[in-house]
Amino acid sequence: MPFGNIGVGGLILILIIALIIFGPSKLPELGRAFGRTLSEFKGATRGLVNGDEEENTKNDQASAATVSKPQS
């Protein structure tokens, strides 16, 4: 199960409650907004992870250059 302890019945119940609260005309709009938010969050997370990897690479290269240079 991809959603942990929430089963199919629980998901159907959540969808029915959302349909009652927001109505059928608002659900597609809410889905798009949720999808955009999730996409932006994933992009920001990748940016942070890649930024950390780039920093580590730069730090490793700088420390390797410092170690390999003979001191006079």
* Mean pLDDT for back-to-back runs of 10 residues, the chain (72 residues): 74 89 88 92 87 68 60 54
Structure confidence at residue 11 (pLDDT):
84
Q: What is the pTM of this model?
A: 0.49
Q: Which long-range contacts (CB under 8 A, 24 or more apart) does 38-44 make?
A: none
Structure confidence at residue 35 (pLDDT):
92
Structure confidence at residue 15 (pLDDT):
87
Structure confidence at residue 31 (pLDDT):
86
10-38 residues labelled b (16+ CB within 10 A) or e (exposed): eeeeeeeeeeeeeeeeeeeeeeeeeeeee
